[in-house]
Amino acid sequence: MIYEAPVKDMMFLLDDWIGIDQIAALPGYEHVDRDTCEFVLEEAGKFCSRELLPLNRTGDEHGAVFKDGAVMSPPGFREAYAKFCENGWPGLDADPEHGGQGLPRLLQFLIDEMLGSSNMSFKLYAELTHGAYHLMASEASEDIRTRYLPNMVAGSWSGTMCLTEPHSGTDLGLLNTKASRSEDGTYTLTGTKIFITSGDHDLTENILHLVLARLDDAPAGVRGISLFLVPRTLVNDDGSLGERNAVNTASIEHKMGIKGSATCVLNFDQATGYLVGAENRGLMAMFRMMNLERIAVGIQGLGVAEIAYQNALAYARERTQSKAPGPRPDPSKAADPIILQPDIQRKLLKIRAQVEGARAMAVFAGFQADVQARSVDPDAVEAATDFVALLTPLVKSYLSDLGVSSALEAQQVYGGHGYIREHGMEQLVRDARITPIYEGTNEVQAVDLVKRKLTLHEGRLVQRLFQRWKELFDAQATEDELDFVMAPAREALLRLRDLTGWMVERLADDEATALAAATDYQRLFALTAVACFWAEIVAAMAGREGAFFEAKRRIAGIFMQQVLPETVALAVQVRNTDKLSNAVPLLDEA
């Protein structure tokens, strides 16, 4: 497989659309400039292509192995992880106080895409540490922060998120891992957690589990959940490693994909834990972190879509089969490259239009996350908070679905050769397939979008986003040369506004109908949002000439012509959920 990080497109979005000056204007990011961004992205891209991509198939073929109670990562992962840490990648957006580089979260998201392209399994060992770091940095006591965070930033200690239990996945209110207060101010945890990514492995000296559990006297449901730090190996007061804690790996899962990543069943058997944040407030703390993780999971899907595109394009140029319609490049040959087949061209252009549009949505969300975290302007923070909250389910669901659909389409370009393991395309499908499932299934995202985000602050979140785009379209002259993008995007926005009104009404009168429509509505919203981001981009580069800008405009056109029309169908399906209830009793039949 080949992979070249799309640094040019990333730099275009940062520099020509978002504006690097806008990032540098945020407190703490004064040192961020064009050269820094480009250098960091180039280096990350090289690391991913040279070090991680070659291990991707090894990770799949060999898998993480569970033996004698411990997990071994696939061959080569230890060496690559050591280089990853040497180069400082674990601390990219970490606080300099803990040894981090203090770069924007947005850059981290772009690098997340590259990691997702080159090696999803490897990425997961680092990603959970990254999430745990940020959660602890914002919620843990100073003592914990001082003692643990520098080792996480250095990459020598890793992190996990222990939420799911056998009977408690989507509904965390059902969890029953127990925590008891000990006399020394620590806690004792007992219970079983499943689906714990990187729950055990051999890449780091220690593993820090962030565990949701219920105190003996906690209220039932989600308001009785607390968050604990439970290190695999206890840490002495001087920061050195002490005794092994009572956390054991019972098994690892045999999965469809991301086989190089260890997904563990962990048993906590009176393990020592430290409270993070306040008692009974653990779920809210976890959710603050999970929102950014959800964006990161969407970006994994984007990463897979990008590498699937690059390889399908390369294969289509190389593979000869049948004669192309129209003038043939070399009529003496028995067959032409399949890239000359119109259906292959349409497929590839369609993936590219979706990938570039999805990347824009992710970049916008990433920038707003930085504004939310750093700005001192309360209005800007409020706006950014609204944007991040609203876009989180859209980025998570749309980009993860795009990862799967693009991998499937790219696999199809290979014909029978795409079905055998050798070419790696089928691995992309299997790896990408987890992204619509974990960190809250895409259906859970849709419920979050519809039940929570649409009505939060009396609808302010959607109003703000719609207003942004209304201003964009109002500012366009009629009969504009950009109408081929502006007109369909504006029309889609109007459709989305109407339908949002319909959804909010249903939510009040007939919640079941609104919830039945939620997934289709979410996809329609995401497609419309991407169309509007394309419109922003095309407006931002209006009048600029050259091959790159011309290509962007044409790809924007492909999005409008070949992708956006799906919203017309989705709108009909959403409204038709009104009639769904009369068929529901059929599901009760034997």
Tokens of 527: 């497609």
Q: Does 339 bind a second copy (CB under 8 A)?
A: yes
Question: What is the C-alpha to C-alpha distance for residues 463 and 452, in angstroms, rounded to an integer?
Answer: 14
Question: What is the C-alpha to C-alpha distance for residues 364 and 6, in angstroms, rounded to an integer?
Answer: 17
- Amino acid identity at 128: L
Q: Does 355 bind a second copy (CB under 8 A)?
A: no
Q: Are 394 and 529 in contact (CB under 8 A)?
A: yes
Contacts of 543 (CB under 8 A, 6+ apart): none
Tokens of 477: 């002259």
Contact map string, positions 146 to 165, toward a second copy, x by CB under 8 A: ------------------x-
Q: Are 186 and 272 in contact (CB under 8 A)?
A: yes
Q: Which of 270, 415, 468, 498 binds a second copy (CB under 8 A)?
A: 415
Q: Does 143 bind a second copy (CB under 8 A)?
A: no
Site for a second copy in 169-188 (CB under 8 A): 169-171, 173-174
Tokens of 40: 């960091």
Among the listed ranges 281-289, 295-303, 376-384, 406-414, the one in contact with a second copy (CB under 8 A) is 406-414
Site for a second copy in 78-137 (CB under 8 A): none
Q: Which of 83, 223, 346, 544 binds a second copy (CB under 8 A)?
A: 346
- Provide the 3-class DSSP secondary structure of residue 75: coil
Minimum Å gap between C-beta 320 and a second copy is: 8
Nearer to a second copy (CB atom), residue 38 or residue 253: 253
Question: What is the C-alpha to C-alpha distance for residues 584 and 590, in angstroms, rounded to an integer?
Answer: 14
Among the listed ranges 10-18, 102-110, 472-480, 510-518, the one in contact with a second copy (CB under 8 A) is 510-518
Minimum Å gap between C-beta 411 and a second copy is: 8
Minimum Å gap between C-beta 22 and a second copy is: 29
Q: Which of 320, 385, 455, 463 binds a second copy (CB under 8 A)?
A: 320
Q: Does 341 bind a second copy (CB under 8 A)?
A: yes
Contacts of 36 (CB under 8 A, 6+ apart): 103
From the list 165, 306, 356, 439, the catalytic residue is 439
Question: What is the C-alpha to C-alpha distance for residues 127 and 159, in angstroms, rounded to an integer?
Answer: 9
Nearer to a second copy (CB atom), residue 64 or residue 103: 64
Catalytic residue flag (residue 439): yes
CA 219 to chain centre: 33
Question: What is the C-alpha to C-alpha distance for residues 450 and 478, in angstroms, rounded to an integer?
Answer: 34
Question: What is the C-alpha to C-alpha distance for residues 559 and 564, in angstroms, rounded to an integer?
Answer: 6
CB neighbour class for 471 (10 Å; exposed up to 12, middle 13-18, buried from 19): exposed
- Per DSSP, what are the bridge partners of residue 206? 157
Q: Does 46 bind a second copy (CB under 8 A)?
A: no
Nearer to a second copy (CB atom), residue 134 or residue 553: 553
Nearer to a second copy (CB atom), residue 317 or residue 468: 317
Nearer to a second copy (CB atom), residue 137 or residue 434: 434
Q: Does 516 bind a second copy (CB under 8 A)?
A: yes
Site for a second copy in 416-475 (CB under 8 A): 416, 418-422, 426, 429-430, 433-434, 436-438, 441-443, 446-447
Q: Which one, of 526, 502, 529, lies nearest residue 516 by Cα?
A: 502
Question: What is the C-alpha to C-alpha distance for residues 468 and 465, in angstroms, rounded to an integer?
Answer: 5
- Per DSSP, what are the bridge partners of residue 180? 188
Nearer to a second copy (CB atom), residue 62 or residue 181: 62
CA 76 to chain centre: 25
Q: Are 293 and 438 in contact (CB under 8 A)?
A: no
Among the listed ranges 236-244, 267-275, 387-395, 511-519, the one in contact with a second copy (CB under 8 A) is 511-519
Angle between helices 120-139 and 105-118 in degrees, nearest 10: 150
Minimum Å gap between C-beta 384 and a second copy is: 30
Pairing mode, if any, of strands 157-162 and 206-215? parallel
First to last CA, the chain: 48
Minimum Å gap between C-beta 575 and a second copy is: 9
- Amino acid identity at 92: L
Minimum Å gap between C-beta 127 and a second copy is: 17
Nearer to a second copy (CB atom), residue 178 or residue 464: 178
Site for a second copy in 240-259 (CB under 8 A): 253-257
Site for a second copy in 521-580 (CB under 8 A): 547, 551, 554-555, 557-558, 561-562, 565-570, 572-573, 576-577, 579-580
Site for a second copy in 187-226 (CB under 8 A): 195, 220
Tokens of 228: 């604990």
Site for a second copy in 280-319 (CB under 8 A): 313
Among the listed ranges 140-148, 209-217, 392-400, 411-419, the one in contact with a second copy (CB under 8 A) is 411-419
Minimum Å gap between C-beta 109 and a second copy is: 24
Q: Does 411 bind a second copy (CB under 8 A)?
A: yes
By annotation, the residues acting in catalysis are 439
